[in-house]
Amino acid sequence: MRLDELHAWICVDDVKLSEFALEYSADGKEVSCWIPSQCDKKFSVHWETTDSSPQQTFNARVTVDGTRCGNNDMRCRDRAHPHIASGSRDSVATSAETRRPLLFARQALTDDDNLLNAAISPELGSIKVDIREVRTAPSMRSHRQPPVWGGRFETQVLHERSKKAMGHSVQFGTEYRARNRQSEPIVIVRDLATFVFRYRPIELLRAQGIAPPIVRPQTAGSSSDREVVDLTKDDDDEAAASEIKKLEARLRELKKKGDKVKVKSKSSGVKQEESVFAPGEVIDLT
């Protein structure tokens, strides 16, 4: 999705997911769409601005199902394209040296009635990217607190009769080792844009008319594969008339042979049918 010079998208297996039913807010600062989630597939969130400068710092905050996954600065990294800054997120930090990947997975359900009326985030089923222009806050460096690693990165279990149960949810994969640095304290200069990706299984999106249906290949022998002869054209009329003449000539020839056979049969005393071809009879000459 795009908002002016800002762009955000989601990838699975390094392939950008299709986006359906885009909607823009009245103030032009928020855009939303639907994307097809893929069960047990890791995904990554990407963002980019094409109107940056070395003096600016843009920051993107990712939230999945209402859980914040941290901030990530966008900086100009390519000297050949000094106005482009980008960033991405495919995991969350759980400690100074560990992370867990983001992935789509089957929604965890239970029949425990204690969870029937449990509070559910209104952002369940969505991935949100907030892009802001920020600056560092030097005065806060001396008062920096040790980072608090690990959030509530656990799968939310829903009651099986919950209206929010929609097939998939964002979950956090197996923890792996990775060095994480503490981010600098920042001050938000201005909010720029919000991108909201609402995800569902592709089958559900098709059933609801959000995604287009599957275009199935036509089977052999279907009516569309059969050759249709249009006899309204002059050339086809002439060809049909010529074919009729040939058939009539062949019919006359066969009738003559039939008459000769009858004459010969009478002379030999062999009884034959009085007529070989009845008037109006269709002859199969194949």
Joined together, the tokens standing for residue 261 give: 């056979």
Is 255 in the same domain as 132? Answer: no
Q: How far is CA 223 from the centre of its chain?
A: 30
pLDDT at residue 265 is higher than 60: no
- In whole angstroms, give the CA distance from residue 10 to residue 90: 10
Q: What is the pLDDT averaged over residues 47-52?
A: 86
53 domain residue, yes or no: yes
Joined together, the tokens standing for residue 186 give: 């920042």
**99-103, 134-138, 206-210, 224-228: the lowest-pLDDT one:** 224-228
CB 45 within 8 A of CB 62: yes
Q: Which of 35-49, 86-100, 217-231 has the highest average model confidence (pLDDT)?
A: 35-49
- In whole angstroms, give the CA distance from residue 194 to residue 8: 9
Q: How far is CA 93 from the centre of its chain?
A: 29
Render pLDDT for 61-75 as a digit per residue (tens, 0 to 9): 999 998 888 877 776
Q: What is the pLDDT averaged over residues 62-90?
A: 81
For position 273, what pLDDT does the model report?
42
Render pLDDT for 158-214 as a digit per residue (tens, 0 to 9): 767 676 667 788 989 999 998 887 777 788 899 999 999 999 999 999 999 999 998
For 38, phi then psi, to 5°, come to -125, 120
- In whole angstroms, give the CA distance from residue 88 to residue 47: 6
For position 227, what pLDDT does the model report?
52
160 domain residue, yes or no: yes
For position 277, what pLDDT does the model report?
43
Is 186 in the same domain as 256? Answer: no
Is 102 in the same domain as 167? Answer: yes
- CA-angle at 188, arms to 186 and 193, nearest 5°: 130
pLDDT at residue 278 is higher than 60: no
Name every residue whose Cβ is closer than 8 Å to that of residue 24 and which is 6 or more positions away in sequence: 3, 30, 31
Is 92 in the same domain as 178? Answer: yes
- In whole angstroms, give the CA distance from residue 160 to residue 139: 50
pLDDT bracket for residue 149 (50, 70, 90): low
For position 236, what pLDDT does the model report?
58
- pTM, 2 dp: 0.69
Question: Residue 200: is it exposed, middle or buried by C-beta count within 10 angstroms (0-12/13-18/19+)?
Answer: buried
Q: What is the pLDDT averaged over residues 14-30?
A: 95
Mean model confidence pLDDT for the chain: 78
For position 207, what pLDDT does the model report?
92
228 domain residue, yes or no: no
pLDDT at residue 271 is higher than 50: no
Name every residue whose Cβ is closer than 8 Å to that of residue 228 and which is 6 or more positions away in sequence: none
Q: What is the pLDDT averaged over residues 116-136?
A: 85
C-alpha dihedral (165, 167, 170, 176), degrees to nearest 10: 130
113 domain residue, yes or no: yes
Is 201 in the same domain as 248? Answer: no
* Enclosing domain of residue 122: 2-139+147-207
Concatenated DSSP letters of 105-168: EEPPEE--GGGTT----TTTTEEEEEEEEEEE-GGGGGGPPPP------SPPPEETT-TT--SE
Q: What is the pLDDT averaged over residues 214-226?
A: 65
Domain count, the chain: 2
Is 159 in the same domain as 252? Answer: no
Is 157 in the same domain as 262? Answer: no
CB 155 within 8 A of CB 78: no
Q: Which of left, alpha, beta for 184 (phi over 0: left; psi -120 to 50: alpha)? A: beta
pLDDT at residue 90 is higher than 60: yes
Is 119 in the same domain as 256? Answer: no
For position 39, what pLDDT does the model report?
92
pLDDT at residue 272 is higher than 50: no
